[in-house]
Each structure stands twice: as C-alpha cells, then as structure tokens.
Structure 1
Amino acid sequence: MSEQTITAVGFSVDAGRGSASALETSLRRIADLGADVAELSLYGYDVIAGGRIVEARAREIAAICARVPLRYTVHGQIVSNFMDGPHLGRQKAVVSAMLDLCGRIGATVLVQHGGRARLDARPGREALDRMERDALAEMAEVAQRHGVRIALENIFGTSPDEYRQTPAELTETVRAVDHPNLVGLVDVGHAYIEGTRTGFDWRAEVKAFSQVAGHLHLHDNFGQPPAPTPFYHPSEAVALGIGDLHLPLGWGDIPFEAVAGDLDVLPGTMMILELGERFDTERAESLAEARRLAAIVNARSATRTAA
C-alpha cells in the first residue's frame, strides 16, 4: 500500500477479563487472517491500577506481542474523558500510563475518546472544550516521548442531555492543539449514529474530520442511536438494527465505498475493523472489503498528490 495514506489494515482485539491468557490466541488468529495490525483493548486486562502500571502484567503482554508478527495500536479506556473535571488528574494519569505501555509493546497509536458532559454542565461548553484541549496538549507531549500518536475518536451521545463534539468540532480541537502527536480518529459508524441523533450531515463531517485523521475505525450499523433499555442479548439489537452494533461490513447500511471516496487521511493511517470474535467467520470477508476500501483511499491520495 502507499506509504502516503493507509499503511496497515487489521482488527481490534476483544477486551480481556482480567487475564492475558487468551490474548496470544486472539493475536495469532488475526495474523493467520492476513491482517497487518491488531488494536489491543488494554483497558480490559487490569494492567493499570490507580494510574500505575502493574509491572508483571505489562511484561506478560509485551512478551505476547513480541511473539506474534503484527503491528500494534492500543485502545484507551472507554470511560477516558478529558471533560471530567473532578477526576481529571486520574484521567490523565491513566492515559500517561497507557502511553508508557504503548511504548513498551511498540504500539504507535493510542485511541482516546472525545470528551463528554451534560449539556447543563458547569462550566459551560467553552470551558469544557478548553479543559480537554489543555489535557490533550499535555498528553501529546507525553506521547511524543514514547513515539506514539494519540488518535482522538468521534463518539455518539447516549442521552438527549449529553454533550459530545461532532466530527467537525473535533477537527477544530485537533487543529487548535496543533501537535504532531495528536491526530483525529474517524469512526464511520459512530458518525452515522450521531448524525441520526443530532441531525448533522454525517457524511460531510466525516469528510472534514478525515483531513486531520491518522486512524480509522470501520464497523457496520443502521445509524440508529442506542435504545434506552438494554437488550438481553446482543443479537437482539442486531435483529432490530438498533445501536452501536459493530457488525461485519455489509451487514448494515453504511455506504462504505462512497465514504472511502471522500476520505483525505494523513500519512501513516491505519484502518482497524472493530469486529468482535463472535463474528470470526465473517472477518476474512470484511478484511478483504476493508483492503478494497483502503485502495480507494490510497488511489484518491495518489491522484491528489500528482495533481
């Protein structure tokens, strides 16, 4: 693939349950599928306690990663939130520890969720945005020391009173911080859901956000925000087509080919398929489709560069 745009395609790894015993099996399966990269959900392996790295577990994970011929990225905590004023120090301590772990295993990207707060929160939106930007700037300096890029991901809200920056607003956040170790992360499925929830033009915002993006998440859905009442089994949500389903490509109705034709991502971008192991039989087909989409993005980049 072109070194100017998407350089690797792979899969996320399901979060552990306090043990790394199954991690090597999961990574070898990803390698056997022919993927280039695995995104580790380290928030599920009890490798950080109170903002400090649990050294024995860190060594175990690093040893496992070294045995499997893959490139690596890391997904930070789902609850990571730089708009969480009362716990901001703890939030930053965990991100700093995650960046240290990235350096130890050779991961080049740490995924960081965009912040969230209640719409009626005090301080207001401007102060919350400023709090997040200041934290991101601080963490980007830490990331630089470890050779890691923080990838700021667009998320969707789960209630009417929840504040989340749209992809276009996240674009401005990345530009305002203006640090080489902070990039955007376009999650196409999340943008589709949030566009339904708030009414913004999700395709246009994804296109805008891609201009500062150095990481991509792909998974399919039907653009429906999560239901207020949880389902008894994840398959019930799939049957109804409601929520952040993380489906194989083609199971939902996201127009991935059209979206790929809009993307203007940064050099060194990796494309991660966020498909759980429950969809293992579909992962090879989704990987082939993701590589086709990556080729569309790379061809667009090559044409633009030549012009």
Structure 2
Amino acid sequence: MAISGGIGFASAACEDPDFEALRRNLDLAEELGVDVVELPLFALDIIAGGRVLPDQMKRLALAIGTRPFAFTAHGPVGVNMMDAPDLLARHRIVAEAAIAAASELGVFRIVLHTGHIARADEGRIEAAYARQRDAFRALADVAERGGMSLAIENIYVPDRGRIAPLPSQIAREIAAIAHPNVTGCLDFAHAALACAAEGADFPAEAKALAAISAHLHLHDCFADPADMAIFVPSERVAYGLGDLHLPLGWGKLPWHNLMDELNFLPDALFLLELSAQYRFALPDGVVRARALAAAYERAQKQRAEA
C-alpha cells in the first residue's frame, strides 16, 4: 500500500517475540489516526540464522491484522555493509531475509542503517564505501522486486574507536549508488550527535541528507556524545547523554528552525522513533509531528512565493 507523505511512528522497539507490544502500539496508532507505522523487524524474532520463520510470520500477520494505515519497516540494526569482506555475506543474507519478511507484510519502504568501520581502518574507508555501494545496489533490486523502496539511514556510533559516514557523505554515497529505488532516511538526533562527536556543522550536514530523504526519524536528544559513568538508564536522560530517543521537546534539537531551513523529497514521512519506555508520549508526539509537518509546508509555500 503506497501513501503520499504522512505522519506516524515506529512501533516502540523492544524485544517483542510474542508481538504483544506491537498489538498495543497498532491499536494506539488507530486511535491517533496516523498514516503509517514502522515495524521493528529487528526486535520481533522473525529471522533465525538468516532465514525467515514461517510460523512466526503467520503469528505476526495475525497480530497486525487489517489496519487503516500503511507500513514501513526498519531492518536489522546490526547489518553493516562496510564490514570486513569475509562478513558481508552474512550481513546480506540477514538483510535479504528482512526484505523478504517486509514484502510478505505489505511494507512499502524498508530502512537500513549505513555501515561503520574501525577508526584504525580509516585508511581503507574508500574500499569499505565501495563494498557498501555494491551491496545496497543489490539490496535495492531485491527490495524493488518485493514492491518496496530502500532508505539508507545515518547513524551515530558511540564507540569512539569506530567511524561512520556523516550525513553529507551518505548523501554522496547515495548519489554514487545511483539507483532509482534508493533514497535517504534522515535521523535528526543521530545527525546532531555524530556532528557533535566529529566537530561537524549539524545544520549543514542535515541539509545535505535532507535533500535526498523522503523518510524522517524524529526523536530528541541533547547532541551530547560525552561518555560518563551512569548507574541506571534514567541517569543518561538526567545528564543528557547520547542517543536517548526522547519525546520531542525533552531535548534541545531546534526542530522549528530545521523545518524552516531544510528541503526534503516530496511526500516525506514524519515518523516518531521513541524508546519503548516513552510509549505514553506517543499521543503528544503525534501532535508535535503534525505541527512540524505543517510548519515545513508553510516554510515551503513561503519560499515558493518569495
């Protein structure tokens, strides 16, 4: 089922092999009248050893049922197409299994993360990019045959011993992939954190990837990559550390300024991606996401009239 733009959320990711959390989130999505929900394929135990589990897929289809909105999917987070050559086959098998599962579920777009390498291997980064380009071209063909597109998401790697491409580099890589079925997925918080860690200009980096993105992940943070000792997860929030997947407004990202400054591909999806413990914030988050989409549309209209 294809849609033209819209507002929605990722089903708050947690280990959910019996799909109870997913059912609750889909029911809530109906109540809130969203346009799309993103399925966390990485948290549903539908793939084992690189193969899709038919019985789990039947149970998942029953849990999803018939819903009045469309679906995207987030593929396995561990997929790393910049990894060592001897590991690429394993990554590709798992990614292809996720694409097959997504196609069976009627998903129209699947998100995969960009890769990363050890900082010590930075001298071989161009070879890693080349491996990733080849892999994503092949996966885009698989996705296209399954009736969906592929969106490549920017990431933040907290391990300072590893390096991942900044958003502008991902934009260049997507241009080099040059596949009509591949676009970007701009994750604002990941971009802010990565830019803070690498000393890069966040608005400029976000602008580069935004221009080729029709898929947006919305969650808040403090753009603080500092590594400090904490004792319970809530203390990371108290200190504002790292990739928190907070409700909008809890962090300090300049959301409305970004809506004024960025240009996305037509019909971009505005999708909340909150941590599972913030499910209670989804109703307010949907209101805020709608307001951001409206602010973006106003800014676009003003630019067109100027």
Q: Does TM-score exceed 0.5, indicating one fold?
A: yes
- Distance across 1 between alignment mates of 2:205 and 2:232: 32
**Structure 1 residue 93: Cα displacement:** 1.1
**Structure 1 residue 4: Cα displacement:** 11
The answer to whether the 8 Å contact 1:168/1:206 transfers is: yes
The residue that corresponds to 2:293 in the other structure is: 294
User: Is there any run of 5+ residues in structure 1 with no aligned partner, and where?
Assistant: none
User: Is there any run of 5+ residues in structure 2 with no aligned partner, and where?
Assistant: none
The residue that corresponds to 1:204 in the other structure is: 204
Q: Which moved more, 1:119-128 or 1:131-140?
A: 119-128
Residues 99 and 284 (structure 1), Cα distance of their counterparts in 2 relative to 1, 3 Å cut: same
The residue that corresponds to 1:182 in the other structure is: 182
Q: Are 2:244 and 1:245 aligned?
A: yes
Q: Which moved more, 1:273-282 or 1:186-195?
A: 273-282
TM-score, structure 2 as length reference = 0.92
Equivalent residues in 2 for 1:27-38 (5 A)?
Answer: 27-38=26-37
The residue that corresponds to 1:45 in the other structure is: 44
The residue that corresponds to 2:18 in the other structure is: 19
Q: Which moved more, 1:49-58 or 1:291-300?
A: 291-300
Residues 232 and 121 (structure 1), Cα distance of their counterparts in 2 relative to 1, 3 Å cut: same
How many residues in Structure 1 have an aligned counterpart in Structure 2?
304
Q: In structure 2, give the amino acid aligned to 1:74.
A: A
TM-score, structure 1 as length reference = 0.92
The answer to whether the 8 Å contact 1:8/1:36 transfers is: yes
**Structure 1 residue 33: Cα displacement:** 2.4
**Structure 1 residue 304: Cα displacement:** 5.5
The answer to whether the 8 Å contact 2:3/2:70 transfers is: no
The residue that corresponds to 2:256 in the other structure is: 257
- Distance across 2 between alignment mates of 1:177 and 1:304: 30
Q: Secondary structure at the match of 1:124?
A: helix
**Percent sequence identity over aligned pairs:** 33
The residue that corresponds to 1:166 in the other structure is: 166
Equivalent residues in 2 for 1:61-140 (5 A)?
Answer: 61-84=60-83, 85-121=85-121, 124-140=124-140
- Distance across 2 between alignment mates of 1:280 and 1:15: 11
- Distance across 2 between alignment mates of 1:243 and 1:64: 33
- Distance across 2 between alignment mates of 1:5 and 1:199: 36
1:216-249 CA-partner distances (Å, limit 9, x unpaired): 00111100116265x4322111111111111111
Q: Secondary structure at the match of 2:143?
A: helix
The answer to whether the 8 Å contact 2:158/2:242 transfers is: no
- Distance across 1 between alignment mates of 2:276 and 2:163: 31
**Structure 1 residue 281: Cα displacement:** 3.0
Coordinate RMSD, CA, aligned: 2.1
- Distance across 1 between alignment mates of 2:3 and 2:146: 22
Q: Are 2:147 and 1:150 aligned?
A: no
Q: In structure 1, give the amino acid aligned to 2:109.
A: V
The answer to whether the 8 Å contact 1:5/1:297 transfers is: no
